Amino acid sequence: LISLPPPSGHRPTAAAMAHAPTIWDSRGPRTMRSREMSVLTGPGNSGVIGADYHTTPLERRFSPYDFNGGTTVVIAGADYAIAAADTRMSSGYEILSRNQTKLHQLTSKSVLAAAGCATDIMELRKQLGIRIQVYAQNHAKEMSTPSVAQMLSNMLYYRRFFPYYAFNLVAGLDDEGKGGVYGYDAIGSFKRDQYGAMGSGQNYIMPLLDNLVGHKNREDENLPLSAEEAVAIVKDVFVTAGERDIYTGDRLEIKVIKSTGVTTELFELKRD
């Protein structure tokens, strides 16, 4: 508390002391003393309680979540699937890492792309890996991409009262060798789609994907995209997002999933 000057002969009235406010100091709540009242209500004073006194309890806030930024994109083709994400990890206006992957290979034909709280994503990835490994040991075969997608939905729904702060996309090949991508909300609702985007740059990228991949509101012929064309589109949309979103940048990581395996490509983005 601040030290109070002498009251200079001014004394608060009994009526004023009867309505003395409750203040909070380091020992908790208490009623303001007459000497303190005299300083606040004496000549030349406005009667406003200073910054070192609080008429309400001090409030402390804590959140178990932190948004670490980043953007993820997935695209599915006839015989391929692509998962891409930038490698910047931020907190507020600070860049914590320029080389943090957001792509996690789950099986030889499926990749998880996740943005959000890095610690929650790490825990989710760990639990997914354990379950996929147990499945492989119990059934003597690798879990299929649709099964991985359903399992992730179940895990997110199980944590619906304290959700993982993760924006998830799964890309991979199904049992017929066709590409498929799956998008999720926080508690596990999901659907299969042709393309998708999540994270801080989602609003900048989705209109471009709607036009270039989804072919929405276009009258020209909708030709299927090759894997090389889809990769080129992914690079362009991330360059665009990096110009507007401070949480997207540094480096782009692209994983192309085909029946022959998963290949990884890196592409440099803005570092400011």
Give me the torsion for CA of 25, 29, 32, 33, rounded to 10°: -80
CA dihedral 103, 108, 109, 113 (to 10 degrees): -10
For the chain, the distance separating the N- and C-terminal CA atoms, rounded to the nearest angstrom, is 44
pLDDT at 86: 97
What is the structure's pLDDT at 227? 96
Query: Where is 75: in which H helix or E strand?
Result: strand 71-76
The reported pLDDT for the residue numbered 213 is 95
10-residue mean pLDDT series, the chain (272 residues): 50 61 65 60 51 62 90 96 97 94 96 96 96 96 96 96 95 95 95 96 96 93 94 97 94 96 95 86
Give the pLDDT score at 51.
Answer: 47
* pLDDT recorded at residue 89: 96
Q: Which residues pair with 198 in a beta bridge?
A: 72
For residues 249-266, one letter each, b for 16 or more C-beta atoms within 10 angstroms of the residue's C-beta and e for the rest, the string is: bbbbbbbbbbeeebeeee
- Rounded Cα gap, residues 158 and 113, in angstroms: 20
Q: Specify whether the backbone of 24 is left (phi greater than 0), alpha (psi in -120 to 50) or beta.
A: beta
- Residue 272, pLDDT score: 82
Distance CA 129, CA 83 (A): 18
**What is the identity of the amino acid at 69?**
G
Question: Strands 166-173, 71-76: parallel, antiparallel or unpaired by DSSP?
Answer: unpaired
Question: pTM for the whole thing?
Answer: 0.77
What type of residue sits at position 162?
F
* C-alpha span between 75 and 170 (Å, rounded): 10
Rounding to the nearest 10 degrees, give the CA dihedral for residues 167, 170, 171, 176.
-160
